[in-house]
């Protein structure tokens, strides 16, 4: 069984065991829950301890990779600009659509209350200040203090400034610093893999506690969560068609026919990288020459994840909704900024690892509890299907749009041919 499968099995087993135990022997079940709760908390703490060093390392290496990609010429710069625009747009879609979907299809109040009471160790973190304090606090006076106090947005701002300064250094110094942060990134990923290896134990403990205290309402709540988050990703997935139509002047039917084989590969592999050959064939069917597609499409796979901001922010908003955190404009603004900026750095790392490292900073910046992520990571396999579908579709649409007016992308005139 895969790592994701083992964690999902542990979630279901823990919930069922907790529900049955609470009905058969309530007193004994409650006592066992008090033992299981700190075990789950220890596992969550182990995941949380990697967040700050990994986020900093990913941002530095991500900016460096983007700068290297931009050296490929005007076509690469044009692609990078479109990537940034789409990532921020993706985050804004989540800020608008997730609250709307939750209003239209609310989680039953009884289920939300039961779940809040089940996870008694959760508490808001990184409280968002008022507008004036928020603006003043964006630039940290001490980045180390910002990291220690979970002030994620100021830390991100400092890291971005530092990363852009690094790429202005000479080749030797730049390579030295980037390699240093790449080593930190790799070391933290090893730690996360260790933590995820024992993930079934932590998830089993957390799920047992929820099963005892929330009962069968937990299953309905997790299904509701999967549907809401997947729906937000579906919006970005569908946006690939109008982007291809208006950005690349490709008819919708033609785009669909060219894309279908890569969609099948995406569903079977849940990996954009594994789908790259199929995506290259899709661009060929769309009449995009190999030269520009060979520049833009690998860039998109390496540093662009269109569904990241929308689905990551949707998770944070859902947890806020679940725990009754007031989603003020400042909280949403902080979440949009964190979701858009951290996504590029998280591209290329394993799905379950990126779930924590991408979403926890968003939750912290919004003052939302991160403890529920320990349960939600277990059902990430299902929304991850939509993540991959959306990323693959947008990668092809972006490639077609960027190359449409490029010298490499247009067909030669008769005079040029002669």
Task: Kindly report, residue by residue over 195-216, the tens digit of the pLDDT.
Answer: 888 888 988 988 888 888 888 8
Most confident of 48-57, 147-156, 323-332, 392-401: 392-401
| 58/345 Cα distance (integer angstroms) | 5
Residues 6+ apart with CB under 8 A from 106: none
Query: Which pLDDT score is estimated for 245?
Result: 93
| 238/253 Cα distance (integer angstroms) | 13
DSSP code for 245: I
pLDDT tens per residue across span 71-128: 767 888 888 889 989 999 999 999 999 999 999 999 887 777 777 777 765 555 545 5
Q: What is the chain's length?
A: 418
Whether pLDDT at 411 is above 80: no
Whether pLDDT at 190 is above 80: yes
Higher-confidence position of 269 and 400: 400
Query: Which pLDDT score is estimated for 413?
Result: 39
Provide mean pLDDT across the span 306-320. 93
| 335/414 Cα distance (integer angstroms) | 52
pLDDT category, 380, cuts 50, 70, 90? Answer: confident
Say if residues 346 and 193 touch (Cβ distance below 8 Å).
no
Whether pLDDT at 334 is above 50: yes
| 64/383 Cα distance (integer angstroms) | 29
Provide mean pLDDT across the span 119-145. 62
Coil vs helix vs strand at 15: helix
Looking at domain 3-404, its CATH architecture is Orthogonal Bundle (1.10)
Query: Which pLDDT score is estimated for 239?
Result: 95
Higher-confidence position of 22 and 352: 22
Rounded to 10 deg, the angle between the 74-104 and 51-70 helix axes is 140
Query: Which pLDDT score is estimated for 6?
Result: 85
Model confidence pTM above 0.95: no
Range of weakest confidence among 89-93, 149-153, 334-338:
149-153
Average pLDDT, the chain: 83
Residues 6+ apart with CB under 8 A from 69: 76, 79, 80, 299, 302, 303
List the domain boundaries for the chain. Answer: 3-404
pLDDT tens per residue across span 212-251: 888 887 888 888 999 999 999 999 999 999 999 999 999 9
């Amino acid at each position: 069984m895969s790592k994701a499968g083992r964690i999902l099995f542990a979630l279901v087993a823990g919930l069922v065991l907790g529900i049955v135990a609470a009905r058969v022997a309530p007193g004994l079940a409650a006592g066992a829950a008090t033992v299981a709760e700190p075990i789950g908390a220890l596992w969550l703490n182990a995941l949380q301890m990697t967040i700050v060093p990994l986020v900093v390392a990913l941002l530095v290496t991500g900016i460096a990779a983007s700068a290297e990609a931009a050296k490929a010429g005007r076509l690469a710069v044009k692609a990078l600009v479109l990537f940034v625009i789409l990532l921020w747009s993706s985050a804004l879609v989540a800020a608008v659509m997730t609250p709307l979907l939750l209003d239209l299809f609310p989680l039953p109040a009884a289920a939300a209350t039961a779940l809040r009471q089940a996870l008694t160790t959760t508490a808001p973190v990184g409280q968002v200040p008022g507008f004036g304090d928020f603006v003043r606090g964006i630039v940290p006076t001490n980045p180390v203090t910002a990291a220690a106090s979970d002030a994620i947005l100021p830390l991100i701002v400092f890291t971005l400034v530092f990363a852009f300064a690094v790429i202005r250094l000479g080749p030797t110094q730049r390579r030295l610093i980037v390699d240093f942060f790449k080593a930190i990134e790799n070391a933290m990923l090893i730690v996360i893999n260790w933590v995820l290896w024992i993930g079934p134990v932590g998830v089993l403990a957390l799920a047992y506690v929820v099963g005892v205290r929330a009962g069968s309402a937990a299953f309905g709540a997790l299904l509701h969560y999967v549907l809401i988050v997947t729906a937000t990703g579906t919006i970005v997935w569908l946006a690939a068609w109008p982007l291809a139509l208006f950005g690349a002047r490709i008819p919708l039917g033609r785009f669909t026919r060219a894309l279908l084989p890569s969609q099948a590969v995406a569903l079977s592999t849940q990996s954009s990288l594994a789908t790259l050959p199929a995506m290259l064939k899709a661009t060929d069917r769309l009449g995009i020459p190999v030269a520009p597609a060979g520049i833009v499409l690998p860039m998109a796979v390496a540093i662009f994840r269109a569904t990241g901001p929308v689905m990551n922010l949707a998770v944070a908003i859902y947890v806020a909704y679940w725990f009754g955190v007031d989603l003020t404009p400042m909280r949403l603004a902080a979440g949009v900024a964190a979701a858009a900026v951290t996504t590029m750095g998280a591209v290329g790392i394993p799905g379950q690892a990126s779930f924590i490292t991408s979403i926890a900073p968003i939750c912290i910046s919004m003052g939302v509890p991160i403890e529920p992520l320990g349960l939600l990571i277990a059902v990430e396999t299902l929304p991850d299907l939509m993540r991959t579908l959306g990323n693959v579709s947008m990668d092809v649409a972006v490639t077609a749009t960027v190359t449409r007016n490029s010298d490499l992308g247009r067909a030669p005139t008769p005079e040029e041919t002669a």
